Structure 1
Amino acid sequence: MNPNVLNTLEPFRTEALRQDIPADEVDRWIATALPCATLTQGGDGPVVGRFGGPAMAPPGTPHPGYPLIATIDCAALPPGTTNLPLPSDGQLMLFGFPEPDETGSMGEAIYVPAGAVVEEMPIPEDSYERNEEDERSLAICQDLPKGEIRLAMDVTLPSYGRVKVPGKMPGAPYPDFPHSPQLADAWLDTEQAITTRGLARLGGYASRSDFGGRGPVEVAASRAVRSQQRGYWQGTGAPASPNFEDWVLLAEWHCDSQHLGGGADIYWAIQRDDLVARRFEGVYAIVFWNP
């Protein structure tokens, strides 16, 4: 384990040991830590993209209809920033809307290779940003963050006791921890003291949301399969894997618009094979709303 990671996670280790969790189990949990990129509107980290702004893509690229949340400059991310096999250059755009819907994906991702000829994507008339019959959606879109994105490099641990460490490399063991719920709680007790507060993240483990005891990646995988079977979502056209171990968290974003009536989180998940192959049409996004 990287000594810097061990030092960063020392508050978690101290808290877990205080709760009488065996030291060897605590250290095995720490060994599952994953790096992530926290995306902020402030701080002194490097600029790695922008929130909002025009969506620029090759001519003819269909607009998803969701508002553009963020554009990430992949070349600006230092190697090892996340656990994900992200492109080394080009632009990754994340689209979504903070409205729960279990029938289909509530977001998309579009990747634009470096050097591609681009133009501003025209926004459809029936999109969330232009639907004049839906004043609430228009107001939420107006509240979305805008401006440059700065990077903070963080480390995350699982927030769910029953998660068997998704997102590891193929063939890696999935450890079974007798005290995993207590370890997850110890992480939640110390996470804010360890990680940077930001609007969004790339990679790592998902923040905790109450999906009936399941993690967001597991929920996204199951909904993707069901939505594809019912014809609500096509993905890449190939059958979506029902095994959540085949999926990784691409990104998450927290929205706190005053027009929501609460907070909402969007989680973009993708199968690792699709990410490696740059098949970003395979992204499936789910929303957790906390009224």
Structure 2
Amino acid sequence: MILTMPQQLAQIRADALEQGFPADDVERWIATAIPCGTLAPGGDGPVVGRFGGTAMVPRGTQVPGNPLVATIDCAALPRQATDLPLPPDGQLLLFGYPEGGEYYSQGSALYVPAGVAVEEPPKDEELDEDEDEDEEFLEVCQSYPQGDIHLTIDVSLPSHTPAHLNPKLIDYWSSKAPISSKWGGVQIGGHASACDFRGNDGPLGVVAEYAGKAEQLGYWRGSGSPSPRVEDWVLLAEFLCSSEMRPGGAALYWGIQRDELAARRFDGVYAVVDWNP
């Protein structure tokens, strides 16, 4: 039986109270819960897209240099899967590579509206030559998940510690839902998995900070200035790369300002990587 979000939260609340956490702390924590979609290569959930493969884009579209992680069919994604103002149809393409840089975004997103004709982009021969010489790049790309994306709708609670929450509750939740269970898949929406970004604002705090520095350095690709306020940003998606891709694992987070997402301006996506080599 698939539990609804209220049923899941009732169970989580009961477990936390049974562990002896104060009721007020538990209620403040539960109030932060938001839905998210877990996208995995297998499972019983509906198919909502495809991992890997070729990026099919409108003619003349410049394809990002980072490899394609996933193509998501927005029409197949139930609205209750996240609290994000995602487009109701069309394709959302996520690109990224699990390696940090000098304030360059390590990923991007491309939205293709429904009904727009798409094609395989022409190959960049110069880029192909460079990649052929980079065995590590090819090995990492080849280890990306491939095939159909299956959706599970989950409850997402913070794994970083905002000032108003009991940090022991965060540790308790992390022990019950270890990050290792998400390796090799993509999460859309929800709270970011903290990894080493365990500040009060978590990975989105890093996104807001780095996007501002990227603008100062001339690396920002958005049509408007990035907000320095972490509350203006939402997690579009995260990709927890398996240890086969990166020893020790790596996490790639795509952040976007909520008003930019609502306006379907995906040029303002900024991605950061947490990698513990």
- When normalised by structure 2's length, the TM-score is 0.91
Q: Secondary structure of 2:174's partner?
A: helix
The number of residue pairs the alignment matches comes to: 273
Question: What are structure 1's unaligned runs of at least 5 residues?
Answer: 164-175
Give the structure 1 partner of residue 239 of structure 2.
Answer: 253
Structural mapping, 1:1-291, within 5 Å:
4-10=4-10, 12-125=12-125, 127=127, 131-162=131-162, 176-177=164-165, 179=166, 181-192=167-178, 199-211=185-197, 213=199, 214-236=201-223, 238-256=224-242, 258=244, 260-291=246-277
Query: Which amino acid in 2 is paired with 1:210?
Result: D
Amino acid at match of 2:104: G
> SS of the counterpart of 2:133?
coil
Q: Distance in 2 between matches of 1:188 and 1:72?
A: 28
Structure 2: which 5+ runs fail to align? none
SS of 2:79 mapped into structure 1:
coil
Distance 1:17 1:182 in 2: 13
Partner deviation per Cα, 1:156-213 (whole Å, 9 max, x = no partner):
11111126xxxxxxxxxxxx34x2x1221122122259x8776111000011211252
Alpha-carbon separation, structure 2, partners of 1:245 and 1:129:
42
Residue pair 2:183, 2:241 contacting (<8 A) in 1 also: no
Distance 1:210 1:196 in 2: 16
Q: Retained in 2: the 8 A contact 1:129–1:141?
A: no
| Conservation of the 8 A alpha-carbon contact between 1:161 and 1:183 | no
Structure-2 change in CA distance of 1:70 and 1:182 (3 Å) = same
Distance 1:229 1:199 in 2: 33
Structure 1 residues 219, 14: CA separation in 2 closer, same or farther (over 3 Å shift)?
same
Tell me, what secondary structure is at the counterpart of 1:186?
helix
Calculate percent identity across the aligned residue pairs: 55
Point out 4+ residue stretches in structure 1 off by more than 6 angstroms: 195-198
Higher alpha-carbon deviation: 264-273 or 123-132: 123-132
| Cα distance, 1:10 vs structure 2 | 4.6
- Say which SS state the counterpart of residue 224 (structure 1) adopts: helix
Which structure features the higher share of helix residues? 2
Please, what TM-score do these two structures have when normalized by structure 1? 0.87
Residue 12 of structure 1 and its aligned partner are, at CA, apart by 3.6
